[in-house]
Amino acid sequence: MTDFRPGDASLVRKVNTQVTLRALRREGVATLTRLGRITGLSRQTVEAVLDELKERGWIREAPPDEGAMGRPARRFGFRADAGYVVGLEVGGDRIVVSLADLSGAVIAWERSAVESDAPAAERLEAARRTALACVDGAGVARTRVWTLAAGTSGIVDRSGRVSLSITLPGWTGLDLAGVAARWFGCTALAANDANLGALAEHWRGSAQHASDVVYILVGHRPGAGILIGGRLHLGRSGAAGEIGTLRQVGWENAATELVEEGSAAEVFAAAGAGDEAALRRVDHYAENLAIGASALVLAVDPDLLVIGGGYALAGDVLLDPLRRHLADLCLSAPQVVTSTFGDESVSLGAVRLALDHVERDVLGL
């Protein structure tokens, strides 16, 4: 439950360091006095904390603000460029990479296509190349990447190994985190793509103010990620949210039925234009989706249901029937919204995961 270890004075310093650093990261650049006011600490304490942080290289002193009244205050800024993290999506037909600094600002994107039946080695090599290209292209030395996180479809266990992948050839059993760790010689993490999507939405998307979130990545084969109390819930084997496994749910073939004629985008467009047959197809797909979604919703009773992934671009054409079926299946369905991100959501979630790791393990606490 709570903490078990007793505390001494250094605990207080630890807490206050955290609080100060958190405030500084929000502020960007701030004076001692201002930091004192927003943290509730005395200026003296803030000063001591910042001295320590400067020593450790986390922050830097910025030039004083000119033109202000009174004696110029010393200003400090979080050294967002002290290190970088890479967020990576290794998808069925594409690789998406984002490079972010420690403040979470994404400073470079890179993407490339990959054949959906490419063997594992080829897919990995494409991912590696794209990631390196992204970092090199941004002019960031490879050694300055502190952590990499990768999202991929399939079940990824807590150690970052793909324990089961249905869609990607040769993917099952792959130690994705282990392999990716060698690319930059840094710690690497791996997780399921839907989980990372959920994380991204909670970080900067439509789920920012929700605590418990179910995120469904709709596309060829829907997947789901769950946030409990704002934190990723992975489960014992990392398989939390894998409701699609249940035959009763019918997620396996939901998409193939949808795209029997034409691409998904075409079907959605036709449905949006009022085409009866397309509407029926979409409705049927939404119903299938709703069955799985309702199982997750009933299990978790989330504050919010977020729909992400390629098909989410269809917007209300898909969401309206989904909401209808969901209301039918659940006692009280939560609010349903679409992702605010396009296809960056997984790599953005990966960035967040990497940053979480940095903040926890490198920054301490």
Among 8, 55, 260, 276, binds DNA (CB under 7 A): 8
168 binds, among DNA, a second copy, none (CB under 5 to 8 A by kind): none
- What is the distance between the alpha carbons of residues 307 and 310, in angstroms, rounded to a whole number? 10
- What is the distance between the alpha carbons of residues 21 and 42, in angstroms, rounded to a whole number? 15
Q: For the packed helices 32-39 and 9-27, what is the interaxial angle rounded to 10 degrees?
A: 110
Could you say whether residue 68 binds DNA (CB under 7 A)?
yes
Could you say whether residue 27 binds DNA (CB under 7 A)?
no
Type of residue numbered 21 = L
DSSP alpha helix (H) spans, 8-93: 9-27, 32-39, 43-56
Could you say whether residue 274 binds DNA (CB under 7 A)?
no
DSSP 219: S
- Collect all residues with Cβ–Cβ distance below 8 Å to 326 and sequence separation of at least 6: 290, 293, 294, 297, 305, 333, 336
208 binds, among DNA, a second copy, none (CB under 5 to 8 A by kind): none
Contact of 109 with 94, CB cutoff 8 Å: no
Contact of 82 with 25, CB cutoff 8 Å: no
155 binds, among DNA, a second copy, none (CB under 5 to 8 A by kind): a second copy
Which parts of 263-322 interact with a second copy (CB under 8 A)?
291, 294-296, 298-303
Query: How far apart are CB 103 and DNA at their closest, in Å?
Result: 22
Could you say whether residue 71 binds a second copy (CB under 8 A)?
no
**Contact flags string 236-265 toward a second copy, x per CB under 8 A:** xxxxxxxx-xxxxx----------------
Which parts of 172-231 interact with a second copy (CB under 8 A)?
212, 226, 228-231
- What is the distance between the alpha carbons of residues 208 and 282, in angstroms, rounded to a whole number? 29
Give the residues lining the site for a second copy (CB under 8 A). 1-9, 11-12, 15-16, 18-19, 22, 39-41, 45, 155, 164, 212, 226, 228-231, 233-243, 245-249, 291, 294-296, 298-303, 329-332, 334, 365
Give the residues lining the site for DNA (CB under 7 A). 6-10, 12-13, 16, 31-34, 40-45, 47-49, 66-74
